[in-house]
Structure 1
Amino acid sequence: MPNVITVITAVHAPGAQYLPDAYKSLQEQELPDGWEWQWVIQEDGETDAVRPYVPDDARISFGQGRHGRAAMARTMGLSRAEGEYVKVLDADDMLTPGSLARDLHALRENPDVGWTTSRVLDLLPDGSTVGFEGDPPPGPLARGAVLDFWKSHNYRAQVHPATLAMRHDLLLALGGWMALPASEDTGLLLALSAVSRGWFTPETGLLYRKWPGQVTSQAAHADESERKARFAVVEARARVLAAMDGWRYWTG
């Protein structure tokens, strides 16, 4: 039996049109010998709008469920994940060639690393890309470093949670994605960092699509009272995890 890395995608009806692009980026991945990917697509809702965009491929598992936003959809999809490692891929984003292989290399060669991230480029509607300064040095990220940076840089992490790959058992131990209307991936990133070292890959691993229908472009996402509440619980969980005696992740 091959080894598996599971890619999890939450999708809602407006974003389903981009699934073929995400699929193409998965097809272009070259994995180490003896490895293959599994793509778990979970619709946030039960409509007829998403399934037509799901490719016919035995490596793909498609599911639907009650509407509850991305965090719930990803966590429900986790029930079908078969891989030792889990990679996030939003429905409207695309992996770059070599992304999965680089994640696997970092996780397999470093048993004390629980999660990986990589450089991101924004993909604009005209097809151009925009990068950002301030990436951390390549290699390991110290346990707790993400929370420290996030707090001192106006609640912006030095790495992008949309690029996360992580050990399946660690993801389960942390309860999956936080039950929040947004910032659920930031909450997971900070929790991961609170209990284990991470890894940053300097090569671009993701094209992050910018388009009018994406959730982060909606006015509700910027509501200040909700934002404060989200970030308060994200920080509180990370601090509690960091302070718990013995809560350290190590596979060696």
Structure 2
Amino acid sequence: MLVNVVTAVHAPYARFLASVWSSLDAQSHREWTWLVQIDGPDKAVRDALEACGAATDPRVRVAVNGTSEGPAVTRNLALARADAPLIQNVDADDELEPGTLSVLVTALAEHPRAGFAVGHARDLLPDGQLRGHALPLSPGPIARGALLDAWRGTLPVHPAGAMWRRSLLLALGGWSALYGMEDTGLLMAASATSEGVLVDAPTLRYRKHADQTSAQPSLFAGAGEQVALIRQRAQILLGQAVWTG
């Protein structure tokens, strides 16, 4: 089954794209296209894609925002270009594990009521080591609302590496308009709307580096309000009809 892999990228992260490309090219599941959406100036990103050989691959489709709009808007513009039934996100500074697409496609095929599938995320440390984390959930179907119940400060699963059914993404309006929590907002809304499935395998390598947004000091003062908004929205969705595709 065809998968559209979505990557939002801006110039400072162009240096990581060769690693993203290598992780895609190593996938055992070969039916994919890579939707690269450039946020802001495009030269550094295009040069990086050219240098690693991705620019000449017909499976790579590049588009440019024209302005700098942030990750949520940029991913949603890529979503608007998507034409596959399944959407896999991979951030520009992260990597997919070698079997990611295969294991997540299989999980969704085996669980037709699930709107999303997610696996384990491992931290990719600056020295190349991979550090895993124990999850508070068991592998298998994720009941509707279970992720919201398990969210106690730390997220129960990493939302950045989830595979989505495109129809669910569209029903939820794509990634949420939140500061640094756009994927958390989407994940909790999805869990309140649909069943999911957790696979017992690493699927995402989450790069830890000094330039990542979460490592930067911020004057943003609305973190608590964002969490409250996510929870309030999820509670409303839990009271509505389950998503059926």
Fold equivalence (TM over 0.5): yes
1:24-39 equivalent positions in 2, closer than 5 A: 24-31=22-29, 36-39=31-34
* Whole-angstrom CA distance in 2 between matches of 1:124 and 1:6: 27
Please tell me the residue identity of whatever aligns with 1:49: A
Partner SS for 2:31: strand
Match of 1:241 among 219, 229, 237: 237
Q: Deviations over 1:33-54 (max 9, x none)?
A: xx61010011121342211112
Q: Given that residues 89 and 162 in structure 2 are in contact (C-alpha distance below 8 angstroms), is that contact kept between their aligned partners in structure 1? A: yes
User: Which residue of 2 is the match for residue 6 of structure 1?
Assistant: 4
Q: Given that residues 38 and 82 in structure 1 are in contact (C-alpha distance below 8 angstroms), is that contact kept between their aligned partners in structure 2? A: no
1:31-180 equivalent positions in 2, closer than 5 A: 31=29, 36-54=31-49, 55-56=54-55, 57-65=57-65, 66-150=67-151, 153-154=152-153, 156-180=154-178
Partner SS for 2:236: helix
Q: CA deviation at 1:26?
A: 0.5
* Whole-angstrom CA distance in 1 between matches of 2:7 and 2:196: 22
CA RMSD of aligned residues (A): 1.4
Q: CA deviation at 1:135?
A: 4.3
User: Which residue of 1 is the match for residue 228 of structure 2?
Assistant: 232
Identity %: 39
Please tell me the residue identity of whatever aligns with 1:243: G
* Whole-angstrom CA distance in 1 between matches of 2:72 and 2:5: 15
* Whole-angstrom CA distance in 2 between matches of 1:82 and 1:47: 23
User: Which residue of 1 is the match for residue 244 of structure 2?
Assistant: 250
Q: Deviations over 1:10-37 (max 9, x none)?
A: 1111111111100111111112xxx610
User: Which residue of 2 is the match for residue 217 of structure 1?
Assistant: 215
Q: Deviations over 1:85-104 (max 9, x none)?
A: 00110011111111101111
* Whole-angstrom CA distance in 1 between matches of 2:137 and 2:226: 25
* Whole-angstrom CA distance in 1 between matches of 2:122 and 2:235: 30
Partner SS for 2:93: coil
Q: Which runs of 4+ in 1 moved over 6 A?
A: none
Q: Deviations over 1:118-151 (max 9, x none)?
A: 011101111112111234211111100111111x
Matched, 1:17 2:18: no
Aligned length: 239
* Whole-angstrom CA distance in 2 between matches of 1:203 and 1:4: 21
Partner SS for 1:219: coil
